[in-house]
Amino acid sequence: MPLRPSSSLLRGFLPALALAATLGASASAAGDRLRIDPARTAIRFEVPSSLWGTTRGQFTRFDGRLVLDFRQPQRSSVAFDVEAASVTTGSKSVDDYIRSEVLFDVARFPSMRFVSRSVEKIDERSAWVTGELTLRGRTHPSRFLVAVERRKDGRALLSFVVRGQVKRTDFGMDAGVPVVSDEVTITVTTETAEP
């Protein structure tokens, strides 16, 4: 899947950046620390299979922290802790399979973690976030494309669409490969009030 920001996102972020620049003086040197609001956040994944189409699911329990620095984007950072057992596809038996020892092995590895190591601005509306993803006790570098859109629904909001692909064999999750794709697409959508 091409990791290209959509044109609506391209249009939206310019004013956001302008506003952020004017507010920048009030921001702390380390940027603004924000707690991810779970009610406004979704962590979704999809994994295609040659036998039964694409399985889609999400994680319902997680904790995320975000540091935004628009003046120096490279100083921005993000960290997510996700409870592995909170995976849900809408089918209890499929969820139990994903939680079992052949995939997430939640009994031994209850949490998944992403910690960013660098933020690289692409343009005014998008950035690459590179960091370390830890699943099943294995840590592997991974990269996500972040698209930012400024919205004004009564109050100024920044919405983020984060997208990336993870090879599950990197983390020892080889069950079903190649009938079930090795590549899993992860999409995180969230929003926050403009700092």
Partner 1 sequence: MIPSRPATDAWSAPLRWLHWLVAGLVLLLLGLGIAMVHAPMAVGTRFELYQLHKSLGLTLLVLMPVRLALRLHGASPAPHGPAWRRRTARIVQALFYLLLVALPLSGWVSASASSLRVPIRWFDLFPVPALAAPDRAMESTAARVHLAAALFLAALVVLHVAAALRHHVIDRDDTLRRMWKGRA
Q: Work out how close the CB of 85 gets to partner 1 at its nearest, in angstroms, rounded to a whole number.
A: 16
Shortest Cβ 59–partner 1 spacing (Å): 17
- Residue with Cβ nearer partner 1 (3 or 94): 94
Distances (CA, A) of 175 to 30, 145, 172, 182: 42, 27, 9, 9
Which stretches of the chain bind partner 1, using CB under 8 A?
52-53, 55, 89-94, 97, 100-102, 174-180
Please, which residue, 55 or 126, has the CB nearer to partner 1?
A: 55
Spatial separation of the C-alpha atoms in residues 92 and 126, rounded to whole Å = 36
Indicate the residue among 101 and 120 with the shorter CB distance to partner 1: 101
Residue 186 beta carbon to partner 1: minimum distance, rounded to whole angstroms = 19
**Minimum separation from the CB atom of position 53 to partner 1 (A):** 7
Nearer to partner 1, 28 or 91 (CB): 91
